[in-house]
Structures are given as C-alpha cells and as structure tokens.
Amino acid sequence: TARIDIEALADQDWTRAWMDNFRPMQFGRRLWVVPRHLPAPDPSAVVIRLDPGLAFGTGTHPTTALCLRWLDRQDLRGRTLIDFGCGSGILAIAALKLGARHAIAVDHDPQAVLAARDNGERNGVSDRLSVVRSSDFLVRPVDVVVANILANVLIALADDISALLKPDADLVMSGILTTQADDVIAAYVDLCDFEPCQTSDDWVLLHGRRR
C-alpha cells in the first residue's frame, strides 16, 4: 500500500522564495534573462530583466526556452512581431531587445496583460510594445508571429493566427508535445512550409514560413 506523509510548512511569501532562487539564464549566444536584483553576467549581453510573477513565462519552461533560443538566432532588426498568448510578455520583450521595430503582446488573461505591460516598462521597451487583451485585438499582419500556447488552441485558432502572417512571415509555435506536432502542422500546412522540429525534453518548437 502507498504511504503519504504530510508535513505542515510555515507560511511565507512563495513568490519571494522563488525569486530568491531565480538565477540568470542564458538562451543562445546573446540573450539572458536576469532578475532585477542581480547584475548581468555578461556586460555585452542582451538582457531581459524579469522576476517570477503570476503570468506564465520566465524562461524556466522548455517551451519558453525553445522560443527564446529561436529569437536569439534571428536578425529581427526592423521587423514587426506578435506574441500571441504573451503571458509575462517575455517573448515580445526579447524580440524588441534583439532589434525588432515593434511588438504586439496579446493575451486573454487580464493578469498577463498587466504583467506584460509592467515588464515592458521595466525593460525600457514600452514605446515599441503594444499590450492588448484578446477581446480588443485588431488583426494586423506582421513579419513574425510567436505563439507559445497549447496545441489544441493552436489548432482551433489556426485561421485566426494564419491571418496575422504577412507573405514570407515566420510562424513560431510551441507549447506542443512531440506527440501533438503532426496535428499542429496539419492545421497550417496549406499555408506554411515547415522546417524540422526543434525539441527539448518532450516539447517541440515548430517554425514555418508563410508562402
């Protein structure tokens, strides 16, 4: 029979406890995510200042890490981007720090909208960052769409997400398990040509380019 041990823990500020253990993380060659209270490990790094919060996205999850590493490899100078399902806004902020001209961060969660707007201000990119709730979002085709959400949502919203892509635009999708990748690709294959999957643990990043 299974045994379960229960131990009472003293109440504490769990967000603060997580922050105390949150250390700088590198993604690719240039990009670092660094808590506000710590110095950047590399003075020449592209640094995102971010603390753990209620909105998803600090770089600790493999899907966020996959997206950050993809962004780090790109020449984003002058390009426009939508972070669809933005959570903390980390991907939009990363793109702007890497040279994107303008980014739109979209989420249905009011907490994510507040977090993304606050993080944009902390990182000095709010003048190039638009943060909107999904219900207020107006379709505006861009050069890059990054969607780090769930596979079933990517499939269900395939028409809506596809409408955001300019000709030759990049579509980057994550939040997808390896077993779900073929189904997600099938929802977009009539519009995009896909490169081989990038994987981390059981998670996948898909990169397609609109024809």
Could you write out the DSSP letters of every residue in 21-84? T---EEETTTEEEE-TTS--SSTTSEEEE----SSS-SS-SHHHHHHHHHHHTS--TT-EEEEE
Instruction: Provide the pLDDT for residue 53.
Output: 58
pTM: predicted TM-score of the whole model, two decimal places: 0.88
Q: With contact defined as beta carbons under 8 Å apart, do 174 and 66 qualify?
A: yes
Instruction: Provide the pLDDT for residue 175.
Output: 96
- Give bridge partners of residue 206 from the DSSP assignment: 173
Distance from C-alpha of 31 to C-alpha of 71, rounded to nearest angstrom: 9
Instruction: Provide the pLDDT for residue 41.
Output: 84
Distance from C-alpha of 21 to C-alpha of 184, rounded to nearest angstrom: 35
Instruction: Provide the pLDDT for residue 142.
Output: 98
Coil/strand/helix, residue 186: helix
C-alpha closest to that of 87 among 50, 123, 122, 124: 50
C-alpha closest to that of 27 among 50, 43, 48, 56: 48
Instruction: Provide the pLDDT for residue 18.
Output: 47
Q: What are the average pLDDT values for consecutive 10-residue runs of the chain, which has 211 residues?
A: 65 51 86 88 90 63 96 98 96 98 97 94 97 95 97 98 98 98 98 97 97 94
C-alpha closest to that of 174 among 143, 147, 192: 147
